[in-house]
């Protein structure tokens, strides 16, 4: 059993609620989406990956282990394209694991063994050059399969009783009504007693926010009506580390 791997490396988690934790990142090649802001463009295509076996991946992880290691992050690309490999790695290693997913492959997710942490992206139509839905309009939601699949994935994860958070990358052009409708819809779909924190991640580079800082406060206040909310930029880019 092999999967295309772009890189396996040790660094600090630079996004989301595990920010600052030392991790070993297993970056898979291949993605089912094509986001315009993707900062791992090489991992979108399987052609950049080297086919590695479970043994080779495990050996590399063991080699990179440091005393401050918190967890192993499966990232990409989209790791859920390689569920069998991930299940096998988790079966053979006694670490904590984080899945970083775009959340659009619920059928694959349902075949994955339980994870300790899951970071699930909520993708907005403006993240894609070729997706034209307007989520400020309620009837456009029904046609936006990406979000429908993300909701299905969240429902599976809730059954797992794992640590989940959602991440929304916002752009200076992101409309408040889009975010409002997304969080309203999430609150309708997710049982009231389930708390799923939402991380607002301002798109990098951060200097593009110079004249739009108020919007970040407004996004946070909107989401805060329904969920616990964090504003967390990509710290690895500020530190200039991988
Ligand atoms: S889902 Fe992630 S890896 Fe895939 S294209 Fe979008 S940003 Fe890139």
22 vs 39, residue with greater confidence? 22
Cα of 188 to ligand 1 centre, how many Å?
27
Cα of 101 to ligand 1 centre, how many Å?
9
Q: Report how far residue 192's alpha carbon sits from residue 236's, in angstroms, rounded to the nearest whole number.
A: 34
Q: Report how far residue 148's alpha carbon sits from residue 5's, in angstroms, rounded to the nearest whole number.
A: 29
Task: Read off the pLDDT of residues 36-83 as tens digits, 9 standing for 90 and up.
Answer: 888 777 889 888 899 999 999 999 999 999 999 999 999 999 999 999
Cα of 78 to ligand 1 centre, how many Å?
7
Cα of 60 to ligand 1 centre, how many Å?
24
Q: Which residues line ligand 1 (CB under 6 A)?
A: 31, 33-35, 38, 40, 43-44, 76-78, 102
The SS3 assignment for 231 reads: strand
Report the CATH number at residue 121.
Answer: 3.20.20.70
Tell me which residue has its CA closest to atom 8 in ligand 1: 38
- Using a pLDDT cut of 70, give the percent of the chain over it: 100
Q: Look at residue 26 and tell me whether its pLDDT is greater than 80.
A: yes
Task: Read off the pLDDT of residues 119-176 as tens digits, 9 standing for 90 and up.
Answer: 999 999 889 887 778 888 777 777 789 999 999 999 999 999 899 999 999 999 999 9
How confident is the model at residue 41, as a pLDDT? 78
Atom in ligand 1 nearest the alpha carbon of residue 76: 3
> For 114-148, b where at least 16 C-beta lie within 10 A, e where not — what string?
ebbbbbbbbbbbbbbeebebebeeeebbeebebbb
Among 38, 150, 171, 203, residue to substitute to test ligand 1 (most atoms within 8 Å of Cβ): 38
Cα of 107 to ligand 1 centre, how many Å?
18
How confident is the model at residue 199, as a pLDDT? 98
Task: Read off the pLDDT of residues 106-126 as tens digits, 9 standing for 90 and up.
Answer: 999 999 998 999 999 999 988
Task: Find the domain containing 55 and state its range.
Answer: 2-239
How confident is the model at residue 46, as a pLDDT? 87
Out of 110-114, 128-132, 197-201, 212-216, which region has the weakest mean confidence (pLDDT)? 128-132
How confident is the model at residue 126, as a pLDDT? 86
- Widest pairwise Cα distance in the chain: 51
How confident is the model at residue 202, as a pLDDT? 96
Tell me which residue has its CA closest to atom 7 in ligand 1: 38
Task: Read off the pLDDT of residues 223-239 as tens digits, 9 standing for 90 and up.
Answer: 999 999 999 999 998 88
Radius of gyration of the chain (CA): 18
Q: Look at residue 19 and tell me whether its pLDDT is greater than 90.
A: yes
Q: How many structural domains does the chain have? A: 1
Atom in ligand 1 nearest the alpha carbon of residue 121: 1
Tell me which residue has its CA closest to atom 3 in ligand 1: 77
| Length of the chain in terms of residues written | 242
Cα of 193 to ligand 1 centre, how many Å?
31
Mean pLDDT score across all residues of the chain: 94
The SS3 assignment for 4 reads: strand
Cα of 67 to ligand 1 centre, how many Å?
31
């Amino acid at each position: 059993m092999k999967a295309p791997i772009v890189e396996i490396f040790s660094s600090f988690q630079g996004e989301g609620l595990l920010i600052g934790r030392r991790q070993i990142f297993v970056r898979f090649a291949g993605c089912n989406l094509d986001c315009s802001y993707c900062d791992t463009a090489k991992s979108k295509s399987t052609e950049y990956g080297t086919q590695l076996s479970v043994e080779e991946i495990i050996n590399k992880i063991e080699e990179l282990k440091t005393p401050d290691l918190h967890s192993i992050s499966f990232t990409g690309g989209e790791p859920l394209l390689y569920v069998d490999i991930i299940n096998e790695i988790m079966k053979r290693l006694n670490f904590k694991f984080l899945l970083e997913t775009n959340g659009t492959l619920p059928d694959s997710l349902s075949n994955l063994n339980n994870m300790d942490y899951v970071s699930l992206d909520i993708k907005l139509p403006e993240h894609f050059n070729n997706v034209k839905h307007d989520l400020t309009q309620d009837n456009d939601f029904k046609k936006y399969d990406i979000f429908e699949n993300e909701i299905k994935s969240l429902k599976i994860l809730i059954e797992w009783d794992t640590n989940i958070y959602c991440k929304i990358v916002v752009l200076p052009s992101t409309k408040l009504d889009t975010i409002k409708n997304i969080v309203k819809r999430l609150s309708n779909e997710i049982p009231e007693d389930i708390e799923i924190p939402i991380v607002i991640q301002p798109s990098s580079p951060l200097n593009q926010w110079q004249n739009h800082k108020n919007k970040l406060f407004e996004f946070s206040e909107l989401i805060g009506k329904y969920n616990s909310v964090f504003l967390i930029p990509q710290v690895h880019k500020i530190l200039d580390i991988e």
